[in-house]
Amino acid sequence: MNVFADTWTYLTDPGNWQGEGGMLQLLVQQLLISVTALAAAMVIGLPVALWLGHLGRGGFLAINISNIGRAVPTFALLAILVTADHPGVRTFGPYGRAGVATLIALTLFALPPLITNAYVAVREVPADVRQAADGMGMTGLQKFTRVELPLALPLVMSGVRLALVQVWATATIAALVAGPGLGRVITDGFYRSDYPKGIAGAIVVALVALVLELFAATVQRAVDPTPGASSRGRRHPKSVGRRRVAEAAEPVGS
């Protein structure tokens, strides 16, 4: 049996993509649960990490608490959640069986890179740039929104980018508790020794991960305050920061 030829045949057969339980439906389900989990993690983690970075206090504790999630396997957490009365294995709207448990597990999994990158991004804004903003008479909130946050956005987006790809790849574990997503194709294929099916599911997961990585990288470049600068000729963060202070101060003096 030529596994690779059979895998290609499986991928190019429209019948495997259409209808209930088809690859396309499972792909959309996994995208939905991944994006929802990432959005929840951003809502929970980013405001706290960014504000702690602005204050310069509590970051060590926040980072270490969030990093506890790195030491707990996501599947182990999911297994614990589905055995509880709530959230358990109940179907949750479009997220399918064990939808709430899967969302909680993936959200906690996404928090460490988001919190770490966001906190470090704000703390790495040069001290003299902060002092320049203070000298322009900016309030703490103005300094944060007009100077610190724009300079921190590329590194913040780096954390979002990392979390997005990790959550997408990890979302396949939902299939182990009969949840939604492409993991069902992978687990069913290997469980039944239908290796072309399992490999086909893994290939689709890998290809979508690559697309998500490219999309996130494009967004990260778009929010960079030094667009188009080469690694050799890139302006120093301090000069960029001073320019941001000058631009941000313009509305104040108008």
With b for 16 or more beta-carbon neighbours within 10 A and e for fewer, the 137-155 pattern comes to ebeeebbbebbbbbbbbbb
Amino acid type, 216: A
Q: What does the pLDDT read at residue 168? A: 96
Q: What does the pLDDT read at residue 147? A: 86
Record the pTM. 0.85
Judge contact between 98 and 179, C-beta under 8 A. Answer: yes
How many CB atoms are located within 10 Å of the residue 171 CB? 29
**Alpha-carbon distance 46 to 35, whole Å?**
15
CATH classification of 3-223, choosing from 1.10.3720.10, 2.60.200.30, 1.20.1250.20, 3.30.379.10?
1.10.3720.10
Per-residue pLDDT of the chain (254 residues; tens, 9 = 90+): 588 899 999 999 999 999 888 999 999 999 999 999 999 999 999 999 998 888 887 777 777 777 776 777 888 889 999 998 888 888 898 888 899 999 999 999 999 999 999 999 998 888 888 888 888 888 878 888 888 888 899 999 999 999 999 999 999 999 988 888 999 999 999 999 999 999 999 999 999 999 999 999 999 888 887 665 444 444 445 555 555 554 544 544 43
How many CB atoms are located within 10 Å of the residue 74 CB? 20
All residues at 6 or more sequence positions from 182 whose CB lies less than 8 Å from its CB, including other chains: 23, 26, 27, 30, 172, 175, 201, 204, 205
